[in-house]
Amino acid sequence: MFCFQCEQTAGCKGCTGENGVCGKSFMVANTQDSLTQALIDLSLSLNGKEPNDNQRRLMLEGLFTTITNVNFDCEKITALTKEINSQFPNTNSEDTYSDHSLQLWAETEDIRSLKSLILFGLRGMAAYAYHAAMLGYQDDKISDFFFEGLRAVGNPEANMNGLLPIVMEVGKVNLRCMELLDKANTETYGTPIPSTVSLTVNKGPFIVITGHDLKDLKLLLEQTEGKGINIYTHGEMLPAHAYPELKKYGHLKGNFGTAWQNQKKEFSDIPAPILFTTNCLMPPKHSYSDRVFTTGAVSFPETIHIDEDKDFTPVIQKALELGGYEKDVEFAGINGGKEVTTGFGHATVLSIADKVINAIKDGQIKHIFLVAGCDGAKPERSYYTNFVKLTPSDSIALTLACGKYRFNDLDLGTVAGIPRILDMGQCNDAYSAIHVAVKLAETLNCSVNDLPISFVISWYEQKAVSILLTLLYLGIKNIRLGPSIPAFMSPNVLTYLVENFGIAPITVPEDDMKDLLKQA
């Protein structure tokens, strides 16, 4: 196997051998490669012809399936590959399984690097397009771009000059895709409102739901209503508490646990089932594997998968059977806080834009930091907690995605009447942060790079790659990226990004803070 798509790749170089660091076996890795090449071959075979709806669906499912920590199930991946194979001209059997070995890994270093940026960016974007599609929102321009992007990945003649604009195009289309998902979420569930979320789990049966899919949560809330079962969000599901149409359910009680990499510890002994709607799933330990349920693109052999009918009865029965805690249990965040806040999406932040702008103009707010992205297991990630603790009292830290669990229970007080930590939502709500930055720049009549805003990004998987490409497409400079530089960036590609965008790896919080405050 060979895989270097995520931040925890072995030795910061690539996972090879029997298993990846994430627990993906060589069998799963090879099956995923074959699925990816089938999608590339399908894109090439269409030769610019418009894909049909079924092909568009397969593209989203296929790309989403190969994201880190989503699908560990060879049978499911093979079945999907067969479906893709049935779409080729002159093929009419769904049982055709031809092995498409992924040619990408054999390319020269720089070409492999740029094609990887395109492929991984498309994988991340596919997850967002998939969530929007679940809510009935689609955009042909976005759907068709997946095919165009994969054609570039499959083009043996492609050179650096030809691939670089496509890398930027991924960022551009991903912005449109995040905007679509923002529209889908807010039109379906209402505009997020700032909300305080308890970390206490009440006595009685409960279900923990994790991942990013708000529709799955809504369906679970409907199916558990009046059954004496409480629902707790976990990981990237936390921002759901801010959406009026989800918040209205009294049994959506609070948030359990922190970010994905702590799941083996956090799930080992809870008297409740856990429903995974998307990544990040780690191979479950024996102690709790019978309590893990998956749905959508996420799957693990031998755990129960809830099909497209979304009948959550097995999860509900498990919750009732386990019965939950006998009395309320007070949990705390990483820094000891008993509650967290969320729901500061672009509508809320822009509704107080005048206040923010005036506070910037009269010097009450001197700096805004976007400290955002994924969490992960590496100890170096404590950088982000320490960085936020160091933010001056006349600054605000905007945050989003699961990296926020490193600091979202800190009480940093307020500045100019505004809380100093504002959680904008899930990783796709990077759209909110971008929207706010662009609007502030418009109002202050300057460019985003002239604003006193710094971007301090933590990455882990491919959605973060698509967001990074969006920030680059927007011309945002001097991004600090950590905890390490992606293994798939070749030295030449990295030099290009440093020279043109000023991207820099994180160093130590104190030094980075000094530098960023100087730049503003």
- The interface partner of residue 280, options being ligand SF4, ligand FSO, none and the CB cut-off 5 to 8 Å by kind, is ligand FSO
What span, in angstroms and rounded, lies between the C-alpha atoms of 392 and 407?
15
Helix 214-224, helix 313-322: angle, nearest 10? 60
Q: How far is the CB of 43 from ligand FSO (least distance, A)?
A: 25
What is the closest distance, in whole angstroms, from the C-beta atom of residue 68 to ligand SF4 in the complex?
Answer: 4
- The two tokens of residue 136 are 């009935």
| Residue 458 interface partner, choices ligand FSO, ligand SF4, none, CB cut-off 5-8 Å depending on type | none
Helices (H), 3-51: 26-46
Contacted entry of ligand SF4, ligand FSO, none for residue 427, CB cut-off 5 to 8 Å set by kind: ligand FSO
For the bound state, the minimum distance from the C-beta of residue 463 to ligand FSO, rounded and expressed in Å, comes to 4
- Partner whose footprint covers residue 5, from ligand FSO, ligand SF4, none (CB < 5 to 8 Å by kind): ligand SF4
User: Would you state the structure tokens that stand for residue 253, as one six-digit string?
Assistant: 């009680």
**Nearer residue to ligand SF4 within complex by CB, 21 or 494:** 21
- The nearer residue to ligand SF4, 3 or 142, going by C-beta atoms, is 3
Which of ligand FSO, ligand SF4, none has residue 111 at its interface (CB below 5 to 8 Å by kind)? none
Q: Which is nearer to ligand SF4, 149 or 376 (CB)?
A: 376
Residues 6+ apart with CB under 8 A from 250: none
The residue among 123 and 346 lying less far from ligand FSO, judged by its C-beta, is: 123
Following DSSP, what letter does each residue of 305-355 receive, concatenated?
Answer: EE-TT---HHHHHHHHHH--BSS-EE---TTS-SEEEE---HHHHHHTHHH
Q: With CB cut-offs between 5 and 8 Å by kind, which of ligand SF4, ligand FSO, none does residue 463 bind?
A: ligand FSO
The residue ranges that bind ligand SF4 (CB under 6 A) are 3-6, 8-9, 15, 20-22, 24, 29, 68
Closer by beta carbon to ligand SF4, 24 or else 151:
24
Q: In what order do the strands lie in the sheet containing 453-458?
A: 421-423, 395-399, 367-373, 453-458, 480-482, 504-505
Question: Site residues (CB under 6 A) for ligand FSO?
Answer: 235-236, 260, 279-280, 374, 401-402, 426-427, 460-461, 463-464
Q: Which is nearer to ligand SF4, 5 or 303 (CB)?
A: 5
Among the listed residues 481, 343, 332, the one whose alpha carbon sits nearest the alpha carbon of residue 410 = 332
Question: What ranges in 190-255 are assigned the alpha helix state H?
Answer: 214-224, 244-247
As a whole number of angstroms, the distance between CA 46 and CA 68 comes to 28
Q: Are 115 and 107 in contact (CB under 8 A)?
A: yes
Least separation in angstroms between CB 63 and ligand SF4:
14
